[in-house]
Amino acid sequence: MKPMQKKALVVAVAAGLGCGAAEAVYKNPEGTGQVLIYPYYTVQQVGGKSMNTLISVVNTTSQAKVVKVRFREGKGSVEVLDFNLYLSPNDVWTAAVIPDSATDTTSGGKVISSDKSCTNPALPSGGVTFRNLAYASDTVNGNSRSREGYLEILEFATLTGTTATNVTHLSTGVPANCAAVQTANGALPSGDIAPPTGGLAGTGTIINVAQGSDIGYNAVAFADWRFSAYNPTLADETFNLTDGGTFSATVNTANLSSGYRDTPVFVMNDSWATASPAVDAFSSTIMATNVMNEFILESSTLSNTDWVLTFPTKRYYVGATAARPFTKGFSSSTGACEPITLTYFDREEKGATASGSDFSPSPPATTSTVCWESTIVSFRSGQAHNPTGTTSAVLGSTNTTSVTVGTFQNGWANINFGASAHKIEGPATSRVYAPVTSMVSPSSVTYFGLPVVGFMARSYTNTSAGTCDVVPCNYNSSFEHKYRTNLGGVAKQ
């Protein structure tokens, strides 16, 4: 069943139970929504050359919209910049994240854009440097914390009336009147905002021109996040994932009833087990017990592999102490380290279980950890072309967990968030519908794992091509992760 068909089923059954017209946030596999999470941006260096990250967001609807654009650094998800963006019908907005300094690797990142769409505040031609004001006490990392992280875009509202006219592009390709929406506090006339309708999509491109490398990915889209308009604001951290308009979620699970798979789980509006029900609902849509993907480390192509693991709701559970599904409090020097185990296989089915701080053979009881909001898992096999130290080879990340896969040069791996405390307790009124015609009685549902998104990035070098015309013969690609979920003890493969 397609996601909307599943939701139609859930809403119909909920209405039949006298619950009214129920709605629920869900991760949309069709790629559009009200919330977009871009799992990674970076301006770190590889081979002494800086990465840039190109961002695009597409309004696929015929309605003008206003959205929040927020960049978060990768260690603790602290906001380093946010602003409001106004999208015309069928508009595309583009920007780039570049180093604030071409030579100083301790400097932060900055965002630049030549796009004509309105923003509030207006973006100057030279761009805006990311700010460390929210983590100024971190003298260990300083401005360099903002060199890598992730991006979130959240829809405030659709626009009508004069405001819609002001932000819509004329035949000249320029909006009619950006100054009219660049108010001091961001607010718009209440009569000109209407409920959000979704339809946003986006991509990220991590590019290193000097190295001849380019890695692209799709933003992760979440639909039905809010059902009422939110008048825009410019206040710090105001309007974030705690402002979801529902405490409900639709999650696809496994074979909960004989002969029926891909069953929606609908969590009715009620109190979750923690203090942030809107965030719990959002987290439940991306909870995973396992993350799986491939790796390649071949000496013949000087290949390397990084995995991006981003936990976009971790900041709402982790401070000096942690709440489930996370278990460790945050330190700017060590992060908030969650235990993992990693199993890997080569392409001929030979496998091993890796453990220990560097995943070399260690006592079976030892586990490794992922510590940052955006952690890069750097695969290594001890070959001369593999990275050493604490920087990853493909993305140049310093928020890195290094894993050694013995002498394997290629294969696939499985990261398991195995700690029993990695879970969220759902409300007592959770309802599991399985199959189409019946429902499991309302009861608390436990979502196991951690809320995670990301992708694998890998590199190749054509060592037999000789000298290329302009740059080395480097090639890159990226692939979304695969996941396993476990809801109430029922695992989905």
Residue 265's pLDDT is 57
Residue 9's pLDDT is 43
**Tokens at 69, concatenated:** 């654009």
Residue 252's pLDDT is 62
Q: Bridge partners of 401?
A: 377
Instruction: Find, among 482, 475, 484, 483, the residue nearest to 216 by Cα.
Output: 475
CB distance 298 to 410 below 8 Å: yes
Q: Give the residues of the chain that fall short of pLDDT 70.
A: 1-23, 140, 252-275, 348-367, 428-444, 463-472, 488-493
Q: Bridge partners of 204?
A: 55, 217
The torsion angle over the Cα atoms of residues 235, 247, 153 and 186, rounded to 10 degrees, is -30
Instruction: Find, among 406, 372, 407, the residue nearest to 390 by Cα.
Output: 372
Question: From CA 359, how far away is CA 372, in angstroms rounded?
Answer: 18
Using only C-alpha atoms, the chain has a radius of gyration, in whole angstroms, of: 23
Sequence letter at residue 151: L
**pTM for this model (two decimals):** 0.90
Residue 441's pLDDT is 56
361: Cβ contacts below 8 Å, ≥ 6 apart: none
195: Cβ contacts below 8 Å, ≥ 6 apart: 157, 158, 226, 227, 228, 229
Question: From CA 308, how far away is CA 291, in angstroms rounded?
Answer: 11
Residue 359's pLDDT is 39
Residue 471's pLDDT is 56
- Kindly list the domain boundaries of the chain, sorted by start residue: 31-245, 288-421+453-492
Residue 344's pLDDT is 87
Question: From CA 459, how far away is CA 46, in angstroms rounded?
Answer: 12
Question: From CA 113, how far away is CA 308, in angstroms rounded?
Answer: 25
Q: What is the DSSP string of 416-476?
A: E---TT-EEEPPTTEEEE-STT-EEPP---EEESEE-B-EEEEEEE-TTS-S-SSS--EEE
Residue 391's pLDDT is 93
